[in-house]
A and B are shown apart, each in its own frame.
Chain A
Amino acid sequence: MPLLTVDELTVTFGGRGRKDVRAVNGVSFTVDQGQVVGLVGESGCGKSVTSLALMGLLPAKGVTLGGRADFDGTDLLTLSPRRMRDMRGRDLAMIFQDPLSSLNPVVPVGVQVTEILQRHRGLKGEAARKEAAHLLDRVGIPDPNRRLKEFPHQLSGGMRQRALIAMAVACAPRLLIADEPTTALDVTIQAQILELLKELVDQEGTALLMITHDLGVVAGLCDQVNVLYAGKVVESAARRELFAHPTHPYTHGLLGSIPRLDAPRGEPLHPIRGSINDQIAWADGCAFAPRCDRYEMDCLTGTPALTEPRAAGHQARCVNPVLATTEVPA
């Protein structure tokens, strides 16, 4: 029985006399105990919004939520604000994209770590400080006692992200959501951070929901991958399966657009045409159609259903899926 079951989640921004915009359009996926699940897609595909919705961090005004997000027995979407407040940081925690802007510039790192310990684990004063130091040490920040007194701007990018991770794991949450945790960092640091995340989840048996646009990250980390396009899951499979047999033209495209060292010289990349802006409403058909090479008239007959055209547990939302392995750009 999965830890988190997201079922037909929809997020609609509206109000202020503006036209309603549906950012998440019926997303469903599950996360099991200790499992690492990827949520992949271009920016604007609704993956971050999904995570915020799960954390209950979307503004109350002008946002309407639909569907269910069952976190072992409790629906996160309908939870009262104060109950949500109690769960955040304790049962489910989150790591954000830009470590600098995500840390309060005028408050010492130490305080920012201890405050969560105080809130959820009732640790005070010296005890809290000790634990905080221990946490920083655990996330691999050298000389933690000194760092605790320092301010974010005095830390390096990597250390900031480590500090954020320390806060996230401070209360050993059961679900950890990481929203593009490495995008703002330079490559060498990225690897370290991913390494750290992996070992943390392994130790604690924490489930990790990895939100990224970077298939590399996914390949390195995730057990299960969900590909999002225009607010819907278009393909969902175990990591190996997905990379071996990308079935949805979009996934296919994504993979095709990654440069590969083992590709013969002169072999062209196959980027996807156009941008996320050229899309059509799911109601009318496949939102990806405008950018799709395999697009046919019947792509435009309503929302395509999730099917398992290739193997059990490998779902794709496409009327005209890619089935021949050969077509993967070699």
Chain B
Amino acid sequence: MRILTSRSARALTAALAVGLIATGCASERGKDGDKDGAKDTFVFGAPGDPASLDPSLAADGETFRVTRQAFEALLEHESGGSKLVGGLAEKWSSNPEGTVWTFNLRKGVKFHDGEAFNAAAVCANYDHWFNWKGTYQSSAISTYWQDIMGGFAKNEDKEAPAPNYKSCTAKDENTAVIEVLKPSANLPGGFSLQALAIHSPKAIKEYEKQEASAKGDAITYPKYSQEAGTVAGTGPYKIAKWNKGNKEVSLTRFDDYWGDKAKVKNLVIRTIDTEEGRRQALQAGDIDGYDLVAPADIKTLESAGFKVPTRDVFNLLYLGMTQTKNPALQKPEVRQAIAHAVDRENIVKTQLPAGGKVATQFMPDTVAGWSENVKKYPFDTAKAKQLLASAGASNLSVEMCYPTEVTRPYMPAPQDIFELIKADLEKAGIKVTPKPLKWNPDYLDAVESGSCALHMLGWTGDFNDGYNFIGTWFAEPDKQWGFKDDKVFTAVKAGSLQGDPTKRTDLYKAANEAIMEYLPGLPLTSSPPAIAFGKNVVPPKVSPLTQENFAEVSFK
């Protein structure tokens, strides 16, 4: 059945080798120095450069991938899981309303710059953020703070969200109390975000001397966030050097770390722009691991002896529908027809890494609030046809956007998935006009401004709370969906206002059922993103939130 083995690939390339060696570009010298000799450096290939070394200024995964190794937040997720556990705080509790949060801090924790970690330090951070001025208040810099804690002490921009943060008080050396005005579904999860990780107060004093400026046409990050030296966290690694020219961030083991010390002395994160570039770098032994392995490569790498663990699913890919863009979508039957027309099983079978699942609702089953008794829409072309007929939309034609030049944890091969869906819909008699767009910013713009009748998008959870998924979409009217349905909106809102976790979970279940009843769009799949490591690497526990802790890595 499989005639083209990777052997024939080798044969081909080998044949080429002969040809190319003739052109005389072979070299007598072998691999570079760092390959041979004792392995005390773990090299990880990242798809992009970090934006800043201060996580609180960033919103992108590449930044967090780096800072996560050097900064810790009050709370963390259990290694390899999505359960919230103590980070810099050993224990935490809140009042029933969920407005007063008390953290019992870990003792004997040191910052990279030698400062001692204590309640004062925690509050120094929160107050620092809360008192941000000027450009720091731009959502380009403080997105996450604004999502979790709202606005600032003095909002300079009237359209900035109202502050929800009230105060942080150091009850005693090791007890910090953080108060918020209204209960929020983002708490306590938010306390685990890298964007709210704790920095050394000494470093913060330095930060405050510098300004982020918005002169010119762009926001200039403060110098301290662009070079190693000032920033200081408590993590197992400390940032040693950011060589922008060579696109690499070097970290070294922090020997006064409070927990298990990092097993490998040096950690280097290098940027490799292309997907096949990262794979080849691993195969060539130039790096020891990389993230977002293309499903097609998993088997290849594994059979070559590489370790390719896949995470538990903690993300969701959905087929978005913008009713304002194509009125036909306002008919429930049409939306249901589409739901029945798409063979989601097949996507899982052919496109996703082993462990991928068909999504029955707008959150993965690993999230609290997932409900088994939502309305389901099994693959059934005939039913779809008949629904369309009954809606009088038998010759429905609809535009569908899909992103190019991108792979996301929840969306390994966008174009292929798109083409499968397109084929399915056309089988059911729906004419699909494809509209490919560059992921960033074209596609995101188009989708968020509601100019894509059908589109594929998804989300990877920041922390284990249902609102982090459905809240972002269905709490209020949104151009991306272009519908108003108070049943849905209230159901979703209800959860966010509920302080008590267990009660909240039930409300989310109800919300999910309401959503799937209304069916604003079609949840497609949850995909387990794969991450690859070298043959001689003992990988870390992989995290559903893609929050691997490289301190766990060691070499055989």
Query: Do A and B touch (CB < 8 Å)?
Result: no
Interface of A toward B, CB cutoff 8 Å: none
